Structure 1
Amino acid sequence: MHLKLEKVVLKNFRNFTEADITLNQKSLIIGANDVGKTNLIDAIRILLDKSLSENDIEPADEDFCAFSDCDSFEVLLYFSDITEDCINAKLGQYINDENNSMYLGYFATRDIEGGAKDYTIKAGPSLDLLEELHGRHYLKVLNLKYVGASRNVNNFLRSEKNRLLEALKSNRTKEQISTDNKNLEKVVDLMNEVQNEIDSLSYIQSAGTRLSEELNNLAEHHISQEIKLGIDTPKSKDLFKKIQLLSYINEQSIQVGGDGRKNQAFIALWAAMNELQSDEDQVEEVSIFCIEEPEAHLHPHQQRKLSEYLVHHLKTQVILTTHAPSIATDFNPTSIVRLYTSKDKSTIAAKGGASGEIAEKVKNMEFRLNVISSEVYFSDCVLLVEGSSEMIFYKALAKQLRIDLDKLNISILSVEGVGFKRYIELFEILDIHWFVRTDNDYFKVTRKKQEPKEVYRLAGIQRALDFVALRKDLNPEIDMSQLEQILRNTEGQLKELPSADDEHRTKMYDSFYEELNNHNIFIAERGLEEDLYFSSEIVSEKIREYFNMLVDDDYEDEEVIEAMKKKKSTFMFHFVQEYIDFLSNISDDELAEPLFKCKETIEELRHV
Structure 2
Amino acid sequence: MKLTHLSVENFRNFIKTDIILANQNVIFGMNDMGKTNLMYALRFLLDRDIRKNGFRETDFFKNQIDKIIKITLSIDLSDRTSNDDTKNVISKVGGVRSSDELDTFYFRVEGVFDKSEGIGLPKLYWGNKIDELEEIAQDGIISVLDKLFKIVYVDPTIDLEATFKKNKNRLFDQTKLNDNDIVISNEIKELGMQLNGKISSMNLIQTFQTTITEEYKKLKTENINIEMKSELSINGYFSNLIPYIKRDNDDNIYPTSGDGRKKILAYSLLNHLIKAQEGNRIIIYLIEEPENSLHRSMQIALSKQLFNSKVYNYFFLSTHSSELLYEMDNASLIRIYSQGNIESESYIYQVDNEYKNVKKELNRSLSTALFAEKVLLVEGPSEKVLFEKILEEVHPTYELDGGYILDVYGIKFRPYVKVLRALNITVIVKTDNDLKAKKGHPKIFDLIGLQRCLNLLDLEANESEVDSLDPVEIDYFTANGRWTQSRKNKMIKDRKVALYKQYSDKITLLLKKNIYLSKLDLEHDLFDAIGKRMKELLGPDPIKYLQDHKLLNMIELTNELTKDDCVKIIKHPLFKALRKLVPHELD
TM range (shorter): 0.7 to 0.9
Q: 1:362 to 1:596 in 2, by over 3 A?
A: farther
Asked whether the 8 Å contact 2:380–2:410 carries over to 1, the reply is yes
Residue aligning to 2:109: 106
Residue aligning to 1:588: 571
Give the SS at the match of 2:429: strand
Give the SS at the match of 1:320: strand
Give the SS at the match of 1:257: coil
- Per the normalisation by structure 1, the TM-score is 0.74
Residue aligning to 1:467: 453
C-alpha distance in 2 between matches for 1:296 and 1:362: 33
What does 1:330-409 correspond to in 2, within 5 Å?
A: 330-331=327-328, 333-341=329-337, 345-351=341-347, 355=348, 358-359=349-350, 361=352, 364=355, 366-367=357-358, 369-402=362-395, 404-409=397-402
Query: Which digits, 9 at most, give the CA deviation of each residue in 1:248-267, with x for residues without a partner?
Result: 34343433333333323333
Asked whether the 8 Å contact 1:385–1:412 carries over to 2, the reply is yes
Q: 1:150 to 1:427 in 2, by over 3 A?
A: same
What does 1:135-214 correspond to in 2, within 5 Å?
A: 135-138=140-143, 139-165=146-172, 168-170=173-175, 172=176, 176=178, 183-201=184-202
C-alpha distance in 2 between matches for 1:445 and 1:101: 50
User: Counterpart of 1:196 in structure 2: which amino acid?
Assistant: G
Residue aligning to 1:565: 547
Asked whether the 8 Å contact 1:64–1:72 carries over to 2, the reply is no
C-alpha distance in 2 between matches for 1:58 and 1:347: 22
C-alpha distance in 1 between matches for 2:190 and 2:449: 83
What does 1:442-591 correspond to in 2, within 5 Å?
A: 454=443, 459=447, 463-464=449-450, 466-472=452-458, 474=460, 495-496=472-473, 500=491, 509=500, 511=504, 515-536=509-530, 540-541=532-533, 543-544=534-535, 546-547=537-538, 549=539, 556=540, 559-579=541-561, 581-582=563-564, 583-590=566-573
Give the SS at the match of 1:474: coil
Query: Which digits, 9 at most, give the CA deviation of each residue in 1:80-122, with x for residues without a partner?
Result: 457689877876465668848753211124599xx95523322
Give the SS at the match of 2:364: coil
Q: 1:595 to 1:116 in 2, by over 3 A?
A: farther
Q: 1:319 to 1:443 in 2, by over 3 A?
A: closer
After TM superposition, give the deviation of residue 360 of structure 1 in Å.
5.5
C-alpha distance in 1 between matches for 2:428 and 2:150: 44
Give the SS at the match of 1:350: strand
Could you tell me which runs of 5 or more consecutive residues in structure 2 were left unpaired when the two chains were aligned. 476-489
After TM superposition, give the deviation of residue 422 of structure 1 in Å.
4.0
Residue aligning to 2:427: 434
What does 1:196-345 correspond to in 2, within 5 Å?
A: 196-201=197-202, 220-221=219-220, 231-233=230-232, 235-236=234-235, 239-249=237-247, 250-278=250-278, 283=279, 285-310=281-306, 311-314=308-311, 317-331=314-328, 333-341=329-337, 345=341
User: Counterpart of 1:258 in structure 2: which amino acid?
Assistant: G
What does 1:18-97 correspond to in 2, within 5 Å?
A: 18-25=16-23, 27-34=24-31, 36-52=34-50, 54-55=52-53, 57-64=54-61, 71-79=67-75, 80=77, 92=94, 94=96
Which deviates the most, 68-77 or 566-575? 68-77
Q: 1:200 to 1:396 in 2, by over 3 A?
A: farther
After TM superposition, give the deviation of residue 44 of structure 1 in Å.
0.8
After TM superposition, give the deviation of residue 466 of structure 1 in Å.
4.6
After TM superposition, give the deviation of residue 191 of structure 1 in Å.
2.0
Could you tell me which runs of 5 or more consecutive residues in structure 1 were left unpaired when the two chains were aligned. 477-483, 485-490, 550-555, 604-608
Asked whether the 8 Å contact 1:157–1:265 carries over to 2, the reply is no
Matched, 1:130 2:113: no
Which structure shows the higher helix fraction?
Answer: 1
C-alpha distance in 2 between matches for 1:435 and 1:315: 36
After TM superposition, give the deviation of residue 161 of structure 1 in Å.
2.9
Q: Percent identity of the aligned residues?
A: 22
Asked whether the 8 Å contact 2:379–2:408 carries over to 1, the reply is yes
Q: 1:376 to 1:99 in 2, by over 3 A?
A: same
Give the SS at the match of 1:7: strand
Q: 1:245 to 1:203 in 2, by over 3 A?
A: same
Query: Which digits, 9 at most, give the CA deviation of each residue in 1:399-440, with x for residues without a partner?
Result: 222253432333312123584344334444555432111124
C-alpha distance in 2 between matches for 1:579 and 1:107: 61
Query: Which digits, 9 at most, give the CA deviation of each residue in 1:566-593, with x for residues without a partner?
Result: 2321122243345454424434223542
Asked whether the 8 Å contact 1:110–1:118 carries over to 2, the reply is yes
C-alpha distance in 2 between matches for 1:398 and 1:70: 50
C-alpha distance in 1 between matches for 2:556 and 2:52: 62
C-alpha distance in 2 between matches for 1:574 and 1:52: 59
Asked whether the 8 Å contact 1:15–1:347 carries over to 2, the reply is no
C-alpha distance in 2 between matches for 1:575 and 1:535: 14
C-alpha distance in 2 between matches for 1:509 and 1:447: 26
User: Counterpart of 1:137 in structure 2: which amino acid?
Assistant: I
C-alpha distance in 2 between matches for 1:503 and 1:86: 68
- Per the normalisation by structure 2, the TM-score is 0.76
Query: Which digits, 9 at most, give the CA deviation of each residue in 1:323-344, with x for residues without a partner?
Result: 333332322x223333254867
Residue aligning to 2:486: none
User: Counterpart of 1:47 in structure 2: which amino acid?
Assistant: L
User: Counterpart of 1:142 in structure 2: which amino acid?
Assistant: F
Q: 1:377 to 1:315 in 2, by over 3 A?
A: closer
C-alpha distance in 2 between matches for 1:443 and 1:364: 22
Query: Which digits, 9 at most, give the CA deviation of each residue in 1:479-525, with x for residues without a partner?
Result: xxxxx9xxxxxx99x94466637677557657466553212112234
C-alpha distance in 1 between matches for 2:365 and 2:86: 42
Query: Which digits, 9 at most, give the CA deviation of each residue in 1:208-227, with x for residues without a partner?
Result: 777788x679x835998766
After TM superposition, give the deviation of residue 369 of structure 1 in Å.
1.2
